[in-house]
Amino acid sequence: MVCAEEAAGDHAGRARGEEVVFQWDAGAGLLRQRQFYFALPDGRIITVVNTATDAEFDATD
The answer, as to whether pTM is greater than 0.75, is no
Task: Say yes or no to pLDDT of 49 above 80.
Answer: yes
Length of the chain in terms of residues written:
61
pLDDT at 14: 55
Q: What are the sequence ranges of the domains in the chain?
A: 2-60
pLDDT of res. 59: 63
Q: What pairs with residue 30 in β-bridges?
A: 25
Rounded distance, CA 6 to CA 24, Å? 24
Strand partners, 21: 34
Instruction: For domain 2-60, give its CATH number from 2.60.40, 3.40.630, 3.90.460, 3.30.160.
Output: 3.30.160
C-alpha 45, offset from chain centre: 14
* More confident site: 53 or 58: 53
How high is the pLDDT of residue 24?
A: 85
How far does CA 14 lie from the centroid of its chain? 14
DSSP state of 14: P
